[in-house]
Amino acid sequence: MKIARIDQFFPRRRTRLVKITTDSGLVGWGETTLEGKPKSTTAAVEELADYLIGKDPLRIEHHWQHIYRSAFYRGGNVLMTALSGIDQALWDIAGKQYGVPTYQLLGGAARDRIRVYAHWGIGSLADEGKARAKERLEMLQKKGGYKAFKSGPGGKWRAHEPPAVIDAFVERAYLMREWVGPDVEIAFDFHGKMTPALAIEICHEIKGMRPMFVEEPVPQENVDALKLVSDHVPFPIATGERLLTRWGFREIFEKQAVAYIQPDTSHVGGITELKKVANIAEIYYMHIMPHCAIGPVAFSASLQVDAVVPNFLIQEQVDSGLGDGLLKEDWQVKDGHIELPKKPGLGFEIDEKEAERDCGVYEEELGGGFYYESDGSVADW
């Protein structure tokens, strides 16, 4: 069996897909969505296709090594996102070739079902925002029985803010706790936009509502700054969606800088690398909560690793990225869990007509979502 062709599709704003077809007619899908650089990942996949066409798709580790190491310059988010999508597609083909879900080729299931959390933004503190937020919570609980949610402080944050700004977020956090009760977990994503001092101050204000974790309290480049936050906060800190490969996580592990890591299967290096990162995390008693804020192919690839990793805690599920018509059958969430995938490969069938639709919108991805502070300087978002 040989790789016969590689195609790419852009059916949704945050969903960019790679399709690998073999000369035996098998098809594998992967996801190469990268905020800020959609054209670059497209070009990278095109370049890698020159190497992959004519090769045996089942030599996944060999292709991973070739793509990562062969051209002198290693890593970077463009190459790693392209490699991640290709790796997912090759694992999809491998599962289909052997007639089993991909997780069966990764060691078999370590659990019976996969726990997921949903995004639940509470919006502004205006009465209208509260009413909408409560409605959305009830809908999510009714629809999937979710027992864990993630929200965030939203907006832009300067190096320090007045009490009113901090209190608005803190009040929201406690209100969320009041609404869901003590049986439900709530986490907050700071999006890497705080300073260590501000992150620590805010974490102390919300510690009474017992967060499940705070994610990316500070940007990802400085592991010591992250560890400083962890050392001063009495609940778990998480990071990892912007870290690439085992080498990207090495310092996090060695310094025990966080409690949980959040590698993204479409950036870290695909299914192959996500499992390796998780296996290293196990020796540090760190659990993985794979990040997934893009489309249903990346989400499905994450589930395959979630199934087999002992130190898996929970899977992120952005509901707006799912159930959008790309999969013929959407993943069903019941009691806050998804049953183990049953179909061969990554476990879904794509509606190819939907996949071939070109959304043609690059705006959000090219803009990177940043905006400016009131003094005209660039803010993180």
The residues that are catalytic are: 191, 291
Segment interacting with Mg ion, rule: CB under 5 A, options 183-191, 196-204, 227-235, 269-277 = 183-191
Residue 352 or 380 having the CB closest to Mg ion: 380
Residue 49 or 229 having the CB closest to Mg ion: 229
**Got the DSSP string for 2-60?**
-EEEEEEEEEETTEEEEEEEETTS-EEEEE---TT-HHHHHHHHHHHHHHHTTS-TT-H
Determine the Cα angle at 235 with ends 254 and 260, to 5°: 40
d(CA 170, CA 6): 49
Residue 13 or 267 having the CB closest to Mg ion: 267
d(CA 327, CA 337): 19
d(CA 215, CA 189): 5
Q: Are strands 15-22 and 27-31 parallel, antiparallel or unpaired?
A: antiparallel
Minimum Å distance from CB 316 to Mg ion?
8
Report the site for Mg ion in 103-142 (rule: CB under 5 A).
Answer: none
Segment interacting with Mg ion, rule: CB under 5 A, options 3-11, 27-35, 181-189, 316-324 = 181-189
Segment interacting with Mg ion, rule: CB under 5 A, options 4-12, 114-122, 185-193, 250-258 = 185-193
Segment interacting with Mg ion, rule: CB under 5 A, options 106-114, 184-192, 205-213, 317-325 = 184-192
Phi, psi (rounded to 5 degrees) for 135: -60, -45
Minimum Å distance from CB 213 to Mg ion?
11
Where do the DSSP E strands lie in the chain?
3-12, 15-22, 27-31, 113-119, 148-151, 185-189, 214-215, 237-239, 260-261, 287-288, 315-317, 333-334, 337-339, 371-372, 378-379
Give the pair of three-digit tokens for residue 284: 């540090």
Report the site for Mg ion in 283-322 (rule: CB under 5 A).
Answer: none
Q: Are strands 237-239 and 214-215 parallel, antiparallel or unpaired?
A: parallel
Segment interacting with Mg ion, rule: CB under 5 A, options 130-138, 159-167, 189-197, 279-287 = 189-197
Site size for Mg ion, by CB under 5 A?
1
Indicate the DSSP class of residue 375.
T
Minimum Å distance from CB 190 to Mg ion?
8
Q: Are strands 214-215 and 185-189 parallel, antiparallel or unpaired?
A: parallel
Q: Is 189 in the site for Mg ion (CB under 5 A)?
A: yes
d(CA 381, CA 364): 12
Indicate the DSSP class of residue 345.
B
Cβ-closest residue to Mg ion?
189
Minimum Å distance from CB 191 to Mg ion?
6
Report the site for Mg ion in 46-65 (rule: CB under 5 A).
Answer: none
CB 258 within 8 A of CB 237: yes
Minimum Å distance from CB 241 to Mg ion?
5
Which residues does 93 contact at the CB level (< 8 Å), separation at least 6? 20, 22, 26, 27, 28, 57, 58, 345
Minimum Å distance from CB 217 to Mg ion?
11
CA 131 to chain centre: 29
Minimum Å distance from CB 8 to Mg ion?
25
Residue 110 or 318 having the CB closest to Mg ion: 318
Residues in touch with Mg ion (CB under 5 A): 189
